[in-house]
Amino acid sequence: MTRAASSASKGKAPRTARGEKTLRKILDAALAEFGQRGFHESSIVGITSRAKVALGTFYTYFDSKEAVFGALVRDMSGRVRDHVAPALEGAAGGLDGERRALAAYLRFVADHKEVYRIIDEAEFVDPAGFRAHYETTANRIAGRLAAATDSGEVRDDGPLANEVRAWALMGMNVFLGLRFGVWGEENEDKVASLANDLVQRGIKT
């Protein structure tokens, strides 16, 4: 089952490729609707109008506006992960991987500025999804740092260290994305290199 298909409300996952394509259209339309209007000003009719599907088609896959918003949070989190993952290939160590990951994230944000509004609103509309987004992201970073610690690239400061570092790196990435992806686009590789220099001087062996 694709990520889009798994985002449907319980018992409403599409059973055909055509259904998955329709569900993807609804999610993309929801991204535009929520991203431009915010959750409270958005409507199901607005989403279906953007997707060019019937109102009944929406309810084939989702129970409510809250349900599609929660699905969108999970979908966007997954899309960020999938966009960043290929950038890690060929990295010259764990910390170089973090540089590559940040550059890829900044490129994603520049093309999907709506993600910030949606994730921010998720704190109140979908608090479980909001927390899951950040916890899973931090866990991925912590896993990469643990591998770098095992290889001797990153200093071993005890079992809590890489979790703290992961949350700190994620916080840095989030605000760099806001400044250099949403508010003003800069050269992603340059921004990522400067941030990575800060990281390496701070935690490199």
Is the domain of 35 the same as that of 100?
A: no
pLDDT at 96 (0 to 100): 96
Q: How many structural domains does the chain have?
A: 2
pLDDT digits (tens, 9 = 90+) for 100-128: 999 999 999 999 999 999 999 999 999 99
Res 205 pLDDT > 90: no
Is the domain of 108 the same as that of 147?
A: yes
pLDDT digits (tens, 9 = 90+) for 171-199: 999 999 999 999 987 899 999 999 999 99
Helices (H) then strands (E): counts for the chain: 10, 0
| CA-wise closest residue to 161 among 142, 133, 187, 185 | 142
Is the domain of 27 the same as that of 112?
A: no
Tokens for 116? Answer: 């910030």
Among 24, 43, 63, identify where a domain stops. 63
Mean pLDDT of 126-132: 96
Please tell me the distance from the alpha carbon of residue 94 to that of residue 145, in angstroms, as a whole number: 6
With residue 196 as reference, give the H or E element that holds it: helix 188-203
**Dihedrals φ, ψ of 154, to 5°?**
-115, 140
93 phi-psi bin (left φ>0, alpha ψ -120 to 50, beta other):
left
Is the domain of 100 the same as that of 156?
A: yes
Q: Residue 196, Cα to own-chain centre: how many angstroms?
A: 20
Res 163 pLDDT > 70: yes
Q: Which domain holds residue 102?
A: 72-203
pLDDT digits (tens, 9 = 90+) for 63-92: 999 999 999 999 999 999 999 999 999 999
Is the domain of 125 the same as that of 197?
A: yes
Rounded percentage of the chain residues whose pLDDT exceeds 70: 96
Tokens for 7? Answer: 């985002």
Rounded to the nearest integer, the mean pLDDT of the chain is 93
Cβ within 8 Å of residue 80, ≥6 positions away: 105, 108, 115, 137
Is the domain of 105 the same as that of 40?
A: no
Res 34 pLDDT > 80: yes
**Beta carbons of 122 and 74 less than 8 angstroms apart:** no
pLDDT at 11 (0 to 100): 85
Please tell me the distance from the alpha carbon of residue 62 to that of residue 26, in angstroms, as a whole number: 10
Is the domain of 183 the same as that of 105?
A: yes
pLDDT at 4 (0 to 100): 64
Is the domain of 145 the same as that of 170?
A: yes
